[in-house]
A and B are shown apart, each in its own frame.
Chain A
Amino acid sequence: MTGQACYAVLGALLFCLSFHALIIAVHPLRRLLAVNVMGSSVFLVFIAGAGPRDPLPQALVITGIVVAVAATALGLNLLLRLAGPAEDDRPSAGQDGS
């Protein structure tokens, strides 16, 4: 198996692994992790499937990585909001616990 095919198959396996985790997971942060791994596996298939040193998929994947981090940040903020304000110590909130 050549290197390229090796990474393409790896991408397919990673996709299914993270898909499984996405379905099974309970905690929303775990789902975000799964979606991130899923995205990376698609990038792997995309780049390994194109010819070597093809700049077009590389540029698109760089775009994809930045969009992924933006989506992750938004998702994390949403899930923090869903979890509600922490009851435990938050020094910046200005309240003195106990």
Chain B
Amino acid sequence: MKRLGHAVLGLLLLMLAGVLAWAVSLPVAPGQDVPAHIAGSLADSGVSHPVTAVLLNFRGYDTLLELVVLLVALAGVRCLAPLPPPSGGGAVGGVLRELAALLLPVLVLVALYLLWAGATRPGGAFQGGALLGAAGILALLAGRDRFLAVLEQRLWLLAGLGVGVFLAVAAGTLVWGGTLLGLPPEQAGILILVIESFALLSIAVTLVALFLGTGELEDRDP
């Protein structure tokens, strides 16, 4: 009976695969030319890279709510798992420690470069934030307990800063410009850079905290 069920399921999904493959290869009905539309208003967005313009300006609302989603996920994880106690350090392998000492500055530098590059070419707060988060995880694995202590004390401040600054900008544009997140073209560049800088920090801290909730710093001997 179970075998029959699996066979029927496989058959149904094969049919679904066929229909989907056929459907996605149908020509798309020509609608509005979105890329041309975006390229047309790129000059007013404050950045010259279209993806960053969409993320931080044209659809900034999405990005704001995405940062909120990260915060909510962090809240959920924090409810489930407490931060691990610092284990005193010192017991981490020498290779890992040396590797971290070598890689950490480079990772931080590349993350900041990605943030800066986002204005004109591929890059941005999310990619940079992920890289900075990876650097944070490496630091934790290498036994940097001071970093863990800072994280423990200031977790919600650091993780909430991105949303806070984004909301402050949103409120500012609402008061002075009249539209929520309607960035004025003259100041859009600097505003986007400010939002992205704090978002970078918050994304990195949130990702490290999510990792801390999931994993234990297992490589250490007490």
Contacts and interface: CB of A to CB of B under 8 A. Distances in A.
Do any CB atoms of chain A lie under 8 A from CB atoms of chain B in the complex?
yes
Interface of A: 5, 8-9, 11-13, 15-16, 19-20, 23-24, 45, 48-49, 51, 53-56, 58-60, 62-63, 65-67, 69-71, 73-74, 76-78, 80-81, 90-92
Interface string B75-89: 011001100110100
A53 B49 CA distance: 12
Nearest to A91: B222
B25 interface: yes
A49 B25 CA distance: 8
B173 interface: no
Given A15-B20, A51-B35, A63-B55, A70 B9 contact: no
B73 interface: yes
Interface string B108-129: 0000000000000000101000
For chain B, which range describes its interface: under 10, 10 to 19, 20 to 34, or 35 or more residues? 35 or more
B20 A92 contact: no
B66 A54 contact: no
Interface of B: 6, 9-10, 13-14, 16-17, 20-21, 23-25, 28, 34-35, 38, 50-51, 53-55, 59, 62-63, 66, 69-70, 72-74, 76-77, 80-81, 84-85, 87, 124, 126, 203, 206-207, 210-211, 213-214, 216-217, 220-222
Contacts, number: 116
Contacts of B210: 69-70, 73
A71 B24 contact: no
Contacts of A69: 207, 210
Given A70-B70, A92-B222, A62 B81 contact: no
Contacts of B53: 55
A12 B63 CA distance: 27
